[in-house]
Amino acid sequence: MEEQTVGLSDLEIYVPSPRLGLDALLSYRSGQDPGIERRLRRAIEKTGQEAIRFPAPWEDSATLAAQSSYALLRRNTRSTRGLRYIGTGTETTVDQSKPLAAYLEGMLQHAGVSIPETIMTFQSQHACAGGTIAMLSIAAMLAMSPRDESGLVVSTDIARYDAPSTAEITQGAGAVSLLVEKKPRLLEIDLETQGFCSRDVDDFFRPNGSTTAKVKGAYSMQCYNEALDVAFEDYCNRRGRTPQEILHATDMFVFHVPFRMMALSALHRLVSNHTGMHGDELNAFVNERGFEQSLDPNARVGNLYTASTFFALAFLLHERYQKFGNDIVGKSLLMISYGSGNTMLIVSATVAPGAPEVIESWDLNAVFRDERDATIDEYETWLAAPHEAERLKEILSGTNVPAGRFHLSSIREDGYREYGFANVPAAESVPWAATTTR
């Protein structure tokens, strides 16, 4: 079988519009309890976060996935015809049995996207690493197929913590959809060599029935760094090169970003430990690779869990293209993807020849152009979810879903979630679950 490259041909981001600046959240929480002000202010400074984004009442992790996927597939209609796999990575699923990917398939079909039935759908879960695992799985299956096929990978999540708390400032919501293909136009993934580390730890988890994650902040950061050390050593050993050689040969780094300063300190620590660089020399090494600039957008939306790595990837590639133009082609990238509980994956990739044209087609500014300052009442309504059936019905009936948006239309008495698409004429606006698309 002729060896072919496999990787990413395109990606699309969707972040819900409601935004709450951390200055507003600090003022609100301090008014409730003046004793919390100092702790919250210190947490904001340590994390480097600026704002959080959260879903509208009619949005959940499935609709976020559908929104980013709809835009991606409409822009890549040729690839849709050869679609063979849909894999989703999430730690905030909408069903304990049915994969989010199945709901996604139905929503896209209902919106008029030609999704064939001869596909495999699945969901991957390992905290924030689920999307990366799904990407590698689908890329590997495509590499083994003699046919010209493609896969859709969607990382989608809603990060939510107990409130009020210092963890509250790192909440976030969003989805990133990836088009995985042979002869990719954006990134060629190295499927031969990855670095892994997995351990059974309780740094972060969400018990059954809990709507909020439980996190041990300092311990989770320790687990992140320790797993990075092991996975990076594993990666270097498998490549047969020293850590110093790998680091100096890497043009770009992409990390999972729980919050801005955590990713930045993790890369500083890794590079310093293996190269001996400190201070201005270390800062120059990191800045020459655009890493710190790639974290700024994450600070403005919060932790996107599985989507945060690919969110940073999009903005990094865009920034590097602005700097290098067509010379971005051939540059190397190292992706560090962490999932609490825990696992660490290190994946390398090379910028593909078609990347300049793909990056030119993106409108990443839409992430911030579409944001809307939310009220505290809206924020508290989200924190109070899940709502009782009558309250949810009341909330949904009082909202106006914008045209072109996927939305949760109802939750049946048996708990099944039904979705709609706002562009569907009123006479035909029925839950997609009740339609047949063949």
CATH of the domain at 63: 3.40.47.10
Domain span including residue 234: 6-373
Q: What percent of the chain is modeled with pLDDT above 90?
A: 90
User: How far apart are the C-alpha atoms of 168 and 242, rounded to whole Å?
Assistant: 40
User: How far apart are the C-alpha atoms of 79 and 74, rounded to whole Å?
Assistant: 10
Q: What are 328's strand-pairing partners?
A: none
Token output for 121:
């759908």
Amino acid in position 89 = G
Per-residue pLDDT tens for 260-270?
A: 999 999 999 99
Q: Can you give the pLDDT of all 438 residues of the chain as single tens digits?
A: 456 899 999 999 999 999 999 999 999 999 999 999 999 999 999 999 999 999 999 999 999 999 999 999 999 988 888 999 999 999 999 999 999 999 999 999 999 999 999 999 999 999 999 999 999 999 999 999 999 999 999 999 999 999 999 999 999 999 999 999 999 999 999 999 999 999 999 999 999 989 999 999 899 999 999 999 999 999 999 999 999 999 999 999 999 999 999 999 999 999 999 999 999 999 999 999 999 999 999 999 999 999 999 999 999 999 999 999 999 999 999 999 999 999 999 999 999 999 999 999 999 999 999 999 999 999 999 999 999 888 998 998 888 899 999 999 999 999 999 999 997 544 444 443 333 332
Q: Is residue 423 part of a domain?
A: no
Phi-psi region of 123 (alpha: psi -120 to 50; beta: other; left: phi over 0): beta
Give the containing element (helix H, strand E) for 285: helix 279-288
Q: Is residue 386 part of a domain?
A: no
Per-residue pLDDT tens for 178-237?
A: 999 999 999 999 999 999 999 999 999 999 989 999 999 899 999 999 999 999 999 999
Q: Is residue 14 part of a domain?
A: yes
Per-residue pLDDT tens for 409-433?
A: 999 999 999 999 997 544 444 443 3
Q: Are 339 and 127 in contact (CB under 8 A)?
A: yes
**CA angle, corner 307, sides to 148 and 23, nearest 5?**
155
pLDDT at 81: 83
Write out 248-289 in H/E/C secondary structure.
Answer: HHCCEEEECCCCHHHHHHHHHHHHHHHHCCCHHHHHHHHHHC
Q: Is residue 131 part of a domain?
A: yes
Q: Is residue 197 part of a domain?
A: yes
Q: Is residue 415 part of a domain?
A: no
pLDDT at 433: 39
Q: Is residue 419 part of a domain?
A: no
Q: Is residue 274 part of a domain?
A: yes
Our count of domains for the chain comes to: 1
User: How far apart are the C-alpha atoms of 281 and 290, rounded to whole Å?
Assistant: 15
